[in-house]
Amino acid sequence: MLELSGLSKHFGGVKAVDELDLTVNEGEIVGLIGPNGSGKSTTINLICGVFGETAGTVRFRGELMNGKPPHQRLRAGLARTFQNIRLFPNLTVWQNLWVAQNSPQDVSARGFLPRWFGATRRTRREIADLLDLADLGHKDDELASNLAFGEQRRLEFARAAATRPRLLLLDEPAAGMNQQEIADLSRRIHRVRDSGVTILLVEHVMELVMGVTEQIAVLNFGRKIAFGTPGEVQRDKAVQEAYLGASDPGDGSA
Amino acid sequence: MIDFIQNTVDGVMFGSSYALLAIGFTIVFGVMRRLNLAFGASIMLGAYMGTWLHVHYQVHVLVVAVTTVACTVLVGIYVERLCFHAVRRDAALASMVSSFVIWMQLEEAAIHLLPERTYAFPGLFAAGSYEAGPFLFRTEQTAMLLLAAVMVGALHLLLHRTRFGLALRATSENPLAAAYMGIHRTWTVLCAFVLMSLAGGVAGFAILATDQQITPFFGLWATFKGLIAMMLGGMGSLPGAILGGLLLGVVEAHALWYLGAEYRDLSAFLLLFAMLVSRPGGLLGQRILSREELAFRRV
């Protein structure tokens, strides 16, 4: 479904991502982990087109994504959440979900006027489902800026789901969450996956990654050093060294 | 006291069209973080096309109104394509300078269309007035206030109740997130310019119909008034634009009455100066500025 080959991004002399090959198959939940500064976020940003790649290709469902603007990638079925919450603060919870409905299905199912100027009954039902997914049904009329931190994270998750993605990129969704919230999040991730969405999860919180993913790719210094099931990755020597910083070339701080 | 109230009411009436000009500036500033300096000139050229019809074919004032608004929108789209769409990425200053340059071109076009400096502009009503207690209201100014109120109401509904307006506001609040929710940036910017021109065209017509004359200087005048009103209220804030416009109108009306006509524009600049020194973000802009700073810090 998603195929990165030889993907590189250099910022001046720094190779943030270097010759990365990664394949994500349809219906999988794949984790992308690595120490700080290992290139995880850069990889997500390359997949979404925040900036252009230095070399290599991003293919999504066989289609070359290089150079395509964000809204076209979204039409193809790529959606993301942000590491720093990026909601629309002066829109209500309900409106945040409403403006995100820009998938090709939404475009073809509704005429121009109903799509931009009104909300059909179907729209309302779909948003009610999303509110249920995010557990925010009772706060639909609240401004996004008035939500608590955990609620904002949930809303961002639901907003990404509102774009009807085929592949959902989650950029550190569990940052700052407690045990209960992490359990809720993994339940939510499974629920979205079961509705037919493939998931690529970038995360620091090992509890979530090890519990929810089926395949994990480990990055260090922009390179992939391991790929496998959570069990395999945990036993991998190179991974253990990367996380303990035993044999970092030149830098022991990671 | 009666003078004071009378002046305040007059100020609010005239300020309502300043508010529309400021709303125009603020919509585009919100979406693009850019100033369209050619805004006033676009309105002027649109109004010149209306005046041209009036001069050559003596058309009805409503036709002049529709032509003014429609041509302002067309000119607005032209400016967007040339100054903002073509010079877009990472070039805030370039698009501002080019919008200033296009201003000259629009003024030239207006002078070619109607080569004399001053033309009569048809009024909505014959200049008249009515009394309410000790106060005197001018008919044209009342019409201006009503027109502006209807326009503001319509814009409010559009921006808060339709998905179209929400998408516009979403882009203005977080461009990156809006792009990743599939909101098409190019279209959003173009729509913002159309809305800006609609507000500007209506304001321009209301002002010219009250003054009942038009000169090429109207462009400069409208850009100044709109910019000052927007800065007073706070850049990018819609309620701020309304408040700033009304405040500017009221202060000008008082300056006109107590100090004389030559102090009217001077008072506007003094007011802006005082505001920028005491509250650089404008009346309601502080929050928006600090949020932008936050965004920068996060990046």
Q: Which chain B residues touch A82 with a CB distance below 8 Å?
A: 176-177, 180
Domain range for A136 is 86-163
Task: State yes or no: pLDDT of A84 exceeds 60.
Answer: yes
| Same domain for A204 and A129 | no
Domain identity same for A181 and A159: no
Closest by Cβ to A71, choosing from B174, B183, B298: B183
pLDDT in the model for residue A162: 92
- Provide the CATH number for the domain around residue A200: 3.40.50.300
A/B interface, count of CB pairs below 8 Å? 76
Determine, for residues B181 and A119 on separate chains, whether the beta-carbon distance falls below 8 Å. no
Q: Which CATH architecture has domain B2-121+136-298?
A: Orthogonal Bundle (1.10)
For residues A217-236, one letter each, b for 16 or more C-beta atoms within 10 angstroms of the residue's C-beta and e for the rest, the string is bbbbbbebbbbeebeebeeb
ipTM more than 0.95?
A: no
Min Cα distance A100 → chain B (Å) is 5
Write out chain B in H/E/C secondary structure.
CHHHHHHHHHHHHHHHHHHHHHHHHHHHHHHHCCCCCCHHHHHHHHHHHHHHHHHHHCCCHHHHHHHHHHHHHHHHHHHHHHHHHCCCCCCHHHHHHHHHHHHHHHHHHHHHHCCCCCEECCCCCCCCEEEECCEEEEHHHHHHHHHHHHHHHHHHHHHHHCHHHHHHHHHHHCHHHHHHCCCCHHHHHHHHHHHHHHHHHHHHHHHHHHHCEECCCHHHHHHHHHHHHHHHHCCCCHHHHHHHHHHHHHHHHHHHHHCCCCHHHHHHHHHHHHHHHHCCCCCCCHHHHHHHHHHHHHC
Q: Which residue has the higher pLDDT, B289 or B82?
A: B82
Kindly report whether the global pTM for this prediction surpasses the value 0.80.
yes
Structure tokens that stand for B93 in this block: 């200053």
How far away is chain A from the Cα of B237, in angstroms, using its nearest Cα? 12
Same domain, A173 and A159: no
Q: Do the chains contact at B176 and A69, CB–CB below 8 Å?
A: no
User: Cα B143 to chain center, whole Å?
Assistant: 17
* Average pLDDT of the segment spanning A196-217: 90
Which chain A residue shows the shortest CA-CA distance from B184? A71
- Check pLDDT > 80 for residue B61: yes
Q: Look at residues A124, A148, A163 and tell me which one is the last residue of a structural domain.
A: A163
Chain A contact set for B178 (CB, 8 A): 88, 99
C-alpha angle with apex A60: A56 to A64, nearest 5 degrees? 50
Q: Which of B170, B179, B184 sits opposite A99 (nearest CB)?
A: B170
Structure tokens at A188: 């939510």
> In the listed set A163, A183, A204, which residue is the last one of a domain according to the structure?
A163
Q: Residue B158's closest chain A neighbor by CA?
A: A117
pLDDT digits (tens, 9 = 90+) for A118-170: 888 888 999 999 999 999 989 989 999 999 988 999 999 999 999 999 999 99
Looking at the fold, whether A246 and A170 belong to one and the same domain comes out as yes
Residue A253, pLDDT > 70, answer no
- Positive or negative, the CA dihedral A31, A34, A35, A38 is negative
- A250 in the same domain as A141: no
CA distance B241 to B169: 15
The fraction of chain B above a pLDDT of 70, given in percent, is 94
pLDDT at B76: 96
Instruction: Give residue B296's pLDDT.
Output: 53
Closest chain A C-alpha to B199 CA, distance in angstroms: 19
Judging contacts by C-beta atoms under 8 Å, the chain B residues touching residue A100 are 181-182
Confidence check: pLDDT of B63 > 60:
yes
Last residue of a domain, one of A163, A180, A207: A163
Cβ proximity of B107 and B41 under 8 Å = yes
pLDDT of A241: 83
Does pLDDT of B153 surpass 90? Answer: yes
Decide: residue A22, CB within 10 A, 0-12 exposed, 13-18 middle, 19+ buried: buried
SS3 A221: coil
Q: Residues A65, A171: one domain?
A: yes
Whether residues A171 and A158 fall in one domain: no
Q: Is-contact B216 B108, C-beta < 8 A?
A: no
Shortest CB distance from B181 goes to which of A69, A118, A163?
A163
Q: Buried b vs exposed e over A38-72: b needs ≥16 C-beta within 10 Å?
A: bbbbbbbbbbbbeeebeebebebeeeebeebebbe
CB atoms within 10 A of CB A167: 23
Nearest residue in B to A95, CA atom: B166
- Cα–Cα distance for residue pair B167/B210, rounded to 1 Å: 35
**Alpha-carbon distance B187 to B200, whole Å?**
20
pLDDT score of B72: 96
Point out the least confidently predicted range of A201-205, B109-113, B190-194, B285-289.
Answer: B285-289
Q: How far apart are CA A233 and CA A236, in angstroms?
A: 5
Q: In total, how many domains does chain A have?
A: 2
* A191-213 average pLDDT score: 90
* Rounded mean pLDDT, B249-254: 94
What pLDDT sits at residue A248?
47
Q: What is residue B89's predicted lDDT score, i.e. its pLDDT?
A: 67
A75: tokens are: 């039409």
What per-residue confidence (pLDDT) applies to A217?
A: 92
pLDDT averaged over every residue in chain A: 87
Residue A18, phi then psi, degrees to nearest 5: -135, 110
Contact across the interface for A84 and B298, Cβ inside 8 Å: yes
